[in-house]
C-alpha cells in the first residue's frame, strides 16, 4: 500500500505545547501579580455533546492553574434569566472570561446573549466589538474566535510562520470560523478567497489554494481532486456519520483518504483543529486577564 504523501498536522501536540506555555504564564500571574485567571462556562440544557465539551473545558482550565466556574441551567431557562447571569459574571472580578455554550434553546436569542457579554471577557470572540476589531485589523486588541485562531496557528506551524503571498481559500463564511479565519489570513498577507454555497465551480476555486480551510459542516465534501498538490489543508468539520457497520464516528468536511495523497499537510478529524480550539480558549482567558489588569506578558 502506498503511504500517504501528506504530513499529518497533530493538533493535540501543538495544543499541549500551548497549554504548557499557558501554565507557566498563569504561574507568573499568580506569583508576581496575585492574579489567577478565571473562566466561567454557561451551559443551558442537557445536550450530551455539549456536556462532554463543557466538562473537558473545565478539566483543562484547572489543569493550567486557572479558576473554573461552571453554570448549568435547565433547558427551560428564560432569556431574561440567562442575561441576568451574564450581567453578574460581567461584574465578578474572579471571572476574566465568559463563554456561553452554543447552541441555545429556541426561547433564547443568541445575538442578545452575545451582545450582553462584556467584550473584555468575550473569550469566544463573538461580540461585535471583537469582530469589528478583527475586521479592521486591530487584532492585537481583539479577542479572536478560538477555532479560527487555532487554524492559523496550525498553518503557521507547518509553513514556518511566514504566509505572505500565499493563496488561501476558506470554504465557508460563518461568523464563528469562516469570516474570522479569512481576516486572520489577510493579516498574514495571504491572498484570500472565501468560497461558499453560491460559489461557481467551487472545486476549481479550491484547486488554486496553497492553503485550504474547509469549514462548511458537510462530510467528505472536499475530494482529493479539489486540492492543489502540496497544499496545506485544515479540516474544521466535525460530522457524525454512520459507517457500513452501523457505528457512529466523526469525520471532517474533507475526504481524508483521497486528500492525504495529494496535500502537503492535512489535519485529521478528530485530533486536528478540535484540541486547538480549547487551547485557544484558555489562551484568550489568560490574555483577557492580563488586559483587565494592564499586565504586559510575553507573547503566547
Catalytic residues, by residue number, are 57, 101, 124
Q: Could you tell me whether strands 248-251 and 239-242 are parallel, antiparallel, or unpaired per DSSP bridges?
A: antiparallel
- The residues with which 127 forms a beta bridge, in sequence order, are none
Q: Centre a 10 Å sphere on the Cβ of residue 283 and count the other Cβ atoms it contains.
A: 26
What b/e readout covers 226-255, taking b as 16+ CB neighbours within 10 angstroms? bbbeebbbbbbbbbeeeeeeeeeeebbbbb
DSSP state of 136: T
Nearest to 195 by CA among 184, 181, 23, 187: 181
Cα–Cα distance for residue pair 9/267, rounded to 1 Å: 5
Cα–Cα distance for residue pair 82/56, rounded to 1 Å: 22
Amino acid at each position: 500500500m502506498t503511504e500517504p504523501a501528506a504530513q499529518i498536522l497533530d493538533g493535540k501536540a501543538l495544543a499541549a505545547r500551548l497549554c504548557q506555555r499557558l501554565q507557566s504564564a498563569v504561574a507568573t500571574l499568580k506569583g508576581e501579580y496575585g492574579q489567577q485567571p478565571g473562566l466561567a462556562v454557561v451551559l443551558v440544557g442537557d445536550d450530551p455533546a455539549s456536556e462532554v465539551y463543557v466538562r473537558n473545558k473545565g478539566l483543562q482550565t484547572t489543569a493550567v492553574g486557572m479558576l473554573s466556574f461552571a453554570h448549568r441551567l435547565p433547558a427551560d431557562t428564560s432569556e431574561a434569566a440567562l442575561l441576568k447571569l451574564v450581567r453578574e459574571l460581567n461584574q465578578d472580578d474572579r471571572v476574566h472570561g465568559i463563554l456561553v455554550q452554543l447552541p441555545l434553546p429556541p426561547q433564547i436569542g443568541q445575538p442578545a446573549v452575545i451582545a450582553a457579554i462584556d467584550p473584555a471577557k468575550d473569550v469566544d470572540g463573538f461580540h461585535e466589538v471583537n469582530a469589528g476589531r478583527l475586521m479592521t485589523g486591530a487584532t492585537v486588541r481583539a479577542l479572536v474566535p478560538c477555532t479560527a485562531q487555532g487554524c492559523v496557528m496550525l498553518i503557521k506551524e507547518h509553513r514556518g510562520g511566514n504566509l505572505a503571498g500565499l493563496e488561501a481559500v476558506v470554504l465557508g463564511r460563518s461568523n464563528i470560523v469562516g469570516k474570522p479565519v479569512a481576516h486572520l489570513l489577510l493579516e498574514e498577507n495571504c491572498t484570500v478567497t472565501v468560497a461558499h454555497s453560491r460559489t461557481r465551480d467551487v472545486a476549481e476555486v479550491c484547486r488554486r489554494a496553497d492553503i485550504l480551510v474547509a469549514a462548511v459542516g458537510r462530510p467528505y465534501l472536499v475530494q482529493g481532486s479539489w486540492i492543489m498538490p502540496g497544499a496545506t489543508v485544515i479540516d474544521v468539520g466535525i460530522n457524525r456519520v454512520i459507517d457500513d457497520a452501523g457505528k457512529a464516528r466523526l469525520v471532517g468536511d474533507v475526504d481524508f483518504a483521497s486528500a492525504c495523497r495529494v496535500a502537503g499537510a492535512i489535519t485529521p478529524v478528530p485530533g486536528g483543529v478540535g484540541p486547538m480550539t480549547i487551547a485557544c480558549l484558555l489562551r484568550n482567558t489568560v490574555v483577557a486577564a492580563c488586559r483587565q489588569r494592564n499586565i504586559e506578558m510575553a507573547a503566547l
